[in-house]
Amino acid sequence: MKQDIILAGVGGQGILSIATVIGSAALEQGLYLKQAEVHGMSQRGGDVQSNLRLSSDPIQSDLIPRGAADLIVSLEPMEALRYVPYLTPQGWVITNTVPFVNIPDYPPMDSIMAELGKLPHLIAIDVDAIAKEVGSPRSANMVLLGGIAALLDILDPEQLRDGIRRIFGRKGEEIVAANIKAFDAGFNYAKKEK
Amino acid sequence: MAEKQLLLGDEAVALGALHAGLSGVYAYPGTPSTEITEYIQGHPLTRERHVHDQWTTNEKTAMEGALGMSYAGKRALVCMKHVGMNVCADPLMGSAMTGANGGLVVAACDDPSMHSSQNEQDSRFWGTFGMMPVFEPSNQQEAYEMTRAAYDYSEQRTIPVIMRLTTRMAHSRAVVQPAAEIRPQNELHYPAHPKRWVTLPVNARVRNRELIKNYAQFEEDAACSPFNKLSDGPDHSLGVIACGIAYNYLMENYPDGCPYPVLKISQYPFPRRLALQLAEMVPTILVLEEGQPLVENMLRGVFPAQTKILGRIDETVVRDGELSPDEVRKALGLPALPAFAASQVLAPRPPALCQGCGHRDFYTALNNVLKIDYPSARVFSDIGCYTLGYMAPFQAIHTCVEMGASFTMAQGAAYAGTWPAVGVLGDSTFTHSGMTGLLDAVNSHADVVLCISDNLTTAMTGGQDSAGTGRIEAICAGLGVDPAHIRTIVPLPKNYPDMERVIREEIEYHGVSVIVCRRECIQTARRHASKK
């Protein structure tokens, strides 16, 4: 089995923390993984993405071909839209609905949502609101990670929870618990929508 | 067996070097090479073995430091981005003449498509130019193994080895299985060929002939290298030469195996013998290489040939920019996968200076002075976060060429009649390549205002130590700038009136002025605050 994910956002939003947990879980699961990241200039508030490929067999390209991604995960709605040409026609998009406006010509939100709405498989959620609701306001990224776990078969949700424990363990029990709560909230929400 | 690890290509090179018995890494930060040195700095083996791991002032001092370590018999690594190779070109070319004693590997990370760079130059050319072998891994596991092999090879053939990575190799993570054995570090020992290390013409002429002979041997080594491989396929209508990570993009398009014969290249000089074997099998060869058409150019003769060559030059493959599975797919004549069209409502989101960044306040004050009172002013800037001052709403700079060019170009323009001629660079760029230009300005009594926007770090690459922190004014005074015209300001909105007054005064002074504009980078300040 092979599943390809594009993680998208704006430089500084922290898409790499999602990738780190997935990487840790994939390594434990004995999966092959390739994850191309963006470093350098774009991290200064530009559009950033990470190509994350998971497979039970060796992976060739570090980059996902157009039309091959099973899932686009985005911390920002317009950034989700940017990578739609990479999605397979059956693929899912899970995105935060809160825009990150740091450019003067940010398009009207309703036109972005209308474009996203044309996709066959979309989960649009206010991740900050969900994170706040479960009492983990600083764990919005983990809500999206929960969504990923619900939408992809290749990753074992329990392994991802363990991944969260490993990555955030040194920050203390409380932070781990808050992140797991956010993860579960995202997981349950996406499961319902799927 | 050692534990599997998830490593960036950069980190795989770093671990390979540490496991090969590294004694020192010498580097100046630059995307996409920075993480090699950072990984070594954070690794327990570095502390245990006292591996030298401090950032150097620039790539030239890095290369020279590593060459000295190699002279003393120990294994050294030099890391930089592709344009850093220009800065260290003198010692690099010299190192081919001296040869290596302790293993010497030069990691050059290219940035095709210029994600974070000013050009697309291909570091493999340095191998041809200087007569040095080049290794180019195609995946992270190979990056680890080839780095280890590069050290052995460097000592076996007494020659520095260039390890060429490109952005997608440097900044992509994959599972790496390290070797169980960690090699000990070398003991201090001196070169068996001491004459090579004194490149007086009398020695250099002898060495040059020897190196020319050795280079032929390097090519034969590449033909026998386990990292280069010619494999057959059932369809002999086409052959493919795939260099470095281009091999992955090729294979991505053939999940059940490539139907054509393939020559995978990861070690140079390009082994022409293997290409001839491929040409005997097929009438047409497609060359896939990340970067400039180095191999393709070599294969394309001036005179008519039996074998047809396809590649970037005839635009079978995209002429510039990095390769991708899609570009390679197109070159192979395969149909695109079904996909959604790009949305028309998207807006580009270019990088920008962070909110709260000191460079913002500096440019605001500078604009307030120049755009109103000195519309003839020209601002010569440089490489760093502050280059983003080019973008709206600042549009504050007129040039950005290479590390250090601001201070010297401002002088050239001033001499040609530009007034005011303003130079702007950052603290790390100043110590990298700006200090010598400042000395020129002092010696020629140039009428320039040279600004150092000091954020106490090398910010664009992620906040590495900056070589002159705490000593910027002292360095300027030491170079001979009149202390009355070394002015320090703090870039904050409340200080705009003061900042503008200082800028005006120094423009009106017809000599060398240095304005140091100092406030800590907002990113490193945040990190320091959260550490407390």
Is A107 in Cβ contact with B346 (below 8 Å)?
A: yes
Average pLDDT over residues A30-51: 87
- H or E element in which residue B240 lies: strand B239-243
Q: Give, to the nearest 10 degrees, the angle between helix B435-443 and helix B405-415.
A: 20
Buried b (16+ CB within 10 A) or exposed e, B326-365: bbbbbbbeeeeeebbeebeebeebbbbbbeebbbbbbbbb
Read off the tokens for A186.
């995202």
Under 8 Å between Cβ of A77 and A105: no
User: Residues with Cβ < 8 Å from B449, sequence gap 6 or more?
Assistant: B420, B421, B422, B423, B503, B506, B507, B513, B515
Is A42 in Cβ contact with B116 (below 8 Å)?
A: yes
Under 8 Å between Cβ of B305 and B296: no
A136/B388: higher pLDDT:
B388
Cα pseudo-dihedral A130, A132, A138, A142, rounded to 10: -20
Q: Which of B245, B329, B340 to mutate to test the interface with A (most CBs of A within 10 A)?
A: B340
Q: Cα B98 to chain center, whole Å? A: 23
DSSP B337-369: PP-PPPPSS-------PPTT-HHHHHHHHHHHH
Under 8 Å between Cβ of B203 and B196: yes
Is A107 in Cβ contact with B347 (below 8 Å)?
A: yes
Q: How many other CB atoms sit within 10 Å of the CB of residue B379?
A: 24
B348/A105 Cα distance (integer angstroms): 9
In B, minimum Cα distance to A85 occurs at B340
Contacts of A110 in chain B (CB under 8 A): none
CA distance B324 to chain A (A): 7
Burial (Cβ within 10 Å: 0-12, 13-18, ≥19) of residue B462: middle
- H or E element in which residue B441 lies: helix B435-443
Burial (Cβ within 10 Å: 0-12, 13-18, ≥19) of residue B227: middle
B296/A87 Cα distance (integer angstroms): 33
Q: Cα A74 to chain center, whole Å? A: 5
Contact with chain A for residue B244, Cβ under 8 A: no
B410/B418 Cα distance (integer angstroms): 8
B437/B411 Cα distance (integer angstroms): 9
Q: Which of A17, A29, A39, A49 to mutate to test the interface with B (most CBs of B within 10 A)?
A: A39
For residue B449, what are the β-bridge partners?
A: B422, B513
Q: How many other CB atoms sit within 10 Å of the CB of residue B64?
A: 19
Considering only the beta carbons, identify the residue of B172, B325, B340 that sits closest to A35. Answer: B172
Nearest to B363 by CA among B485, B448, B453, B466: B453
A180/B463 Cα distance (integer angstroms): 31
CA distance A129 to chain B (A): 24
Q: Give, to the nearest 10 degrees, the angle between helix B201-224 and helix B272-281.
A: 30
Contacts of A25 in chain B (CB under 8 A): none
Contacts of A111 in chain B (CB under 8 A): 345
pLDDT tens, chain B, 532 aa long? 789 999 999 999 999 999 999 999 999 999 999 999 999 999 999 999 999 999 999 999 999 999 999 999 999 999 999 999 999 999 999 999 999 999 999 999 999 999 999 999 999 999 999 999 999 999 999 999 999 999 999 999 999 999 999 999 999 999 999 999 999 999 999 999 999 999 999 999 999 999 999 999 999 999 999 999 999 999 999 999 999 999 999 999 999 999 999 999 999 999 999 999 999 999 999 999 999 999 999 999 889 899 999 999 999 999 999 999 999 999 999 999 999 999 999 999 998 999 999 999 999 999 999 999 999 999 999 999 999 999 999 999 999 999 999 999 999 999 999 999 999 999 999 999 999 999 999 999 999 999 999 999 999 999 999 999 999 999 999 999 999 999 999 999 999 999 999 999 999 999 999 999 999 999 999 988 887 6
B346/A107 Cα distance (integer angstroms): 7
Is A64 in Cβ contact with B338 (below 8 Å)?
A: no
CA distance A130 to chain B (A): 26
pLDDT of residue B87: 98
B 25-44 residues with CB < 8 A to A: 31-32, 34-35
Is B325 in Cβ contact with A61 (below 8 Å)?
A: yes
Q: Which of B346, B349, B383, B455 to mutate to test the interface with A (most CBs of A within 10 A)?
A: B349
B 441-460 residues with CB < 8 A to A: 460
Domains of chain B: 5-224 (3.40.50.970), 229-331 (3.40.50), 358-529 (3.40.50.970)
Contact with chain A for residue B345, Cβ under 8 A: yes
Read off the tokens for A104.
């003067």
Place of tokens 């397979």: A88
Q: Is the CATH code 3.40.50.720 the one for domain A2-193? A: no
CA distance A74 to chain B (A): 15
pTM, two decimals, is: 0.96
pLDDT of residue A12: 80
DSSP B381-413: --SSGGGGGGSTTT---SB--STTHHHHHHHHH
Give residue limits of the domains in chain A. 2-193
Contacts of A105 in chain B (CB under 8 A): 347
Could you give the ipTM of this predicted complex?
Answer: 0.94
B431/B526 Cα distance (integer angstroms): 24
Q: Tell me the backbone φ, ψ of residue B11, rounded to 5 degrees.
A: -70, -30
Strands A47-55 and B22-27, bridge-based pairing: unpaired
Read off the tokens for A177.
């618990």
In A, minimum Cα distance to B344 occurs at A115
Contacts of B8 in chain A (CB under 8 A): 37
pLDDT of residue B532: 67
